[in-house]
Amino acid sequence: MAKLDEKTKKLLLGKNFIFVSTINKDGSPQLTPTWVDTDGENVLINSALGRQKVVNVARDPRVAIAVVNHENPYERVSIKGKVVEEITGKAAEDHIDKMSLKYTGEPKYRRNAPGEKRVLLVVKPLKVY
């Protein structure tokens, strides 16, 4: 297990997008740009049940993540890790509102499809580059 250093935490807490790679059933990579957060120890990714990355990590929890400072693209970090928990319900719904405020300035996330349920993927970092 790797610890997130201060530079990495700052990038994850900033208004930076990450690219998260999961493994498709056929072994090919699946890559998604997304919002990100951290609890200081883990990488937190909010998604929706049924999305490809969520389906993929249910089968194989390994992920690779790249985060780049949007103000200085030469400042970047790569993380290899695994999803150790999937949180649904009110905690995931509240978290997407937190991410909406961070990235858009809107206190309520309004892009859910009808009936869509949120899931918070907790990624334990194994290697930080």
List of residues 6+ apart from 66 with CB closer than 8 A: 18, 19, 76, 77, 78, 79
* CATH value at residue 56: 2.30.110.10
pLDDT of residue 112: 79
Domain count, the chain: 1
Query: Does residue 1 sit within a domain?
Result: no
Kindly state whether residue 21 falls inside one of the protein's structural domains: yes
Q: What is the pTM of this model?
A: 0.96
- Decide if 15 is inside a domain: yes
Measured at the CA of 8, the angle between CA 22 and CA 80, to 5 degrees, comes to 25
Task: Write down the pLDDT at residue 3.
Answer: 95
Q: For the chain, which ranges sit under pLDDT 70?
A: none
